[in-house]
C-alpha cells in the first residue's frame, strides 16, 4: 500500500570536464545502470551534481546528493595502476560541492605517456533510477546536462 504513495524525484548529472562522451559499455563499466564517462581534454574535474563528499580514495570520490542519491566519480580506470601523483583531490570528506566546484586535477599528459586512461566516469551507485535519459553525446563542456533520471524516495 505504501508503494502507491512513493514519490519519484528528478535528478540530473552534468559533465565534470570538457571532452568526448564515452558510452559506459565501451568504457568497461559492466552492470552500470546510470552514469557516463568523458575522455577529458583538460585535467580540471568538477562536480557532476551538488552534494556532500563522503569518501575519497586515490582515484575515486563518492558524494551524497539530494534524496540520498550516491554518485561516484572515478578518475582513470580502477585497474589501470596509474601513478598516485597523476591525481590531486582538492576537496575533503565533509565538503559541500556544487557543479561549479573543482574536485580534482589530473595529469592527463602523464597518464597518456604511461599508456593509462584519463577517463572520468560518473555513476549513480546506490539507487536504481528510472526514466533514464542520455541528454548529450559527442563533445561536451563542463556543466552540460549529460543525463536525467528519476529516483524513488
Q: pLDDT for 93-107, tens place per residue?
A: 999 999 999 999 999
* pLDDT tens digits, 67-81: 888 999 999 877 656
Residue 90 to residues 10, 30, 44, 70, 107, Cα–Cα distance (Å) = 28, 29, 10, 19, 14
pLDDT of 1 = 44
Domain CATH code at residue 92: 2.70.70.10
Show Cβ contacts of residue 29 under 8 Å, excluding neighbours closer than 6 positions: 35, 37, 121, 123
Contact between 65 and 125 (Cβ < 8 Å): no
28 burial (CB, 10 Å; 0-12 / 13-18 / 19+) is middle
pLDDT band at 84 (very low <50, low <70, confident <90, very high): low
Evaluate if residue 112 carries a pLDDT over 50.
yes
Residue 28 to residue 136: CA distance in whole angstroms: 20
Number of domains in the chain: 1
Show Cβ contacts of residue 82 under 8 Å, excluding neighbours closer than 6 positions: 59, 76, 111, 114, 116, 117
Domain interval for residue 18: 2-152
pLDDT band at 28 (very low <50, low <70, confident <90, very high): low
Residue 45 to residues 11, 29, 150, 151, Cα–Cα distance (Å) = 20, 20, 25, 25
Helix, strand, or coil (residue 16): coil
Amino acid at each position: 500500500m505504501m508503494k502507491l504513495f512513493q514519490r519519484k524525484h528528478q535528478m540530473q548529472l552534468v559533465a565534470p570536464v570538457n571532452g568526448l562522451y564515452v558510452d559506459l559499455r565501451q568504457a568497461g563499466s559492466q552492470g552500470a545502470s546510470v552514469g557516463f564517462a568523458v575522455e577529458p581534454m583538460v585535467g580540471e574535474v568538477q562536480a557532476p551534481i551538488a552534494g556532500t563528499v563522503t569518501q575519497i580514495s586515490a582515484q575515486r570520490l563518492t558524494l551524497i546528493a539530494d534524496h540520498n542519491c550516491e554518485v561516484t566519480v572515478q578518475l582513470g580506470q580502477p585497474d589501470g595502476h596509474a601513478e598516485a601523483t597523476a591525481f590531486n583531490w582538492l576537496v575533503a570528506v565533509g565538503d559541500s560541492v556544487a557543479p561549479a566546484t573543482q574536485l580534482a586535477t589530473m595529469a592527463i599528459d602523464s597518464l597518456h605517456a604511461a599508456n593509462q586512461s584519463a577517463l572520468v566516469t560518473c555513476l549513480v551507485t546506490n539507487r536504481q533510477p528510472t526514466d533514464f535519459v542520455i541528454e548529450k553525446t559527442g563533445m561536451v563542456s563542463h556543466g552540460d546536462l549529460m543525463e536525467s533520471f528519476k529516483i524513488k524516495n
